[in-house]
Amino acid sequence: GIRWMSSLEAKVEDAKDKKPTAEKLERLRREKINRFRNQHRINVQGTDLPDPIATFDQLQKEYKVHPKIMENIQAAGFHVPTPIQMQAIPVMLH
């Protein structure tokens, strides 16, 4: 049948539906990572795999790579990691 609600009840129910759970946020994060891996043709197997990096700057932010190493990467002419570097470097540092 039809259920009549006040607009306040409808707003409360909408708020409940839109509140993301930790489980849902983790699932969305995993989907985003899987899309990134698929776009770059990165295939991995195993457990406890770190997320791939999209830029070398992420190495400094996420893995606290020494600034001198970052300078050397730039000086060597590397601007964007290759797909293998995107996943292999985090695996080595994990």
Domain locations in the chain as residue ranges: 7-93
Residues 6+ apart with CB under 8 A from 37: 43, 44, 52, 87
| Cα–Cα distance measured from residue 54 to residue 29, given in angstroms and rounded to the nearest whole number | 15
| Cα–Cα distance measured from residue 41 to residue 56, given in angstroms and rounded to the nearest whole number | 18
**pLDDT tens-digit profile of 52-61?**
999 999 999 9
How confident is the prediction for the chain on average, in pLDDT? Answer: 89
What pLDDT is recorded for position 70?
95
Phi-psi region of 64 (alpha: psi -120 to 50; beta: other; left: phi over 0): left
Mean pLDDT across 23-30? 94
pTM, two decimal places: 0.72
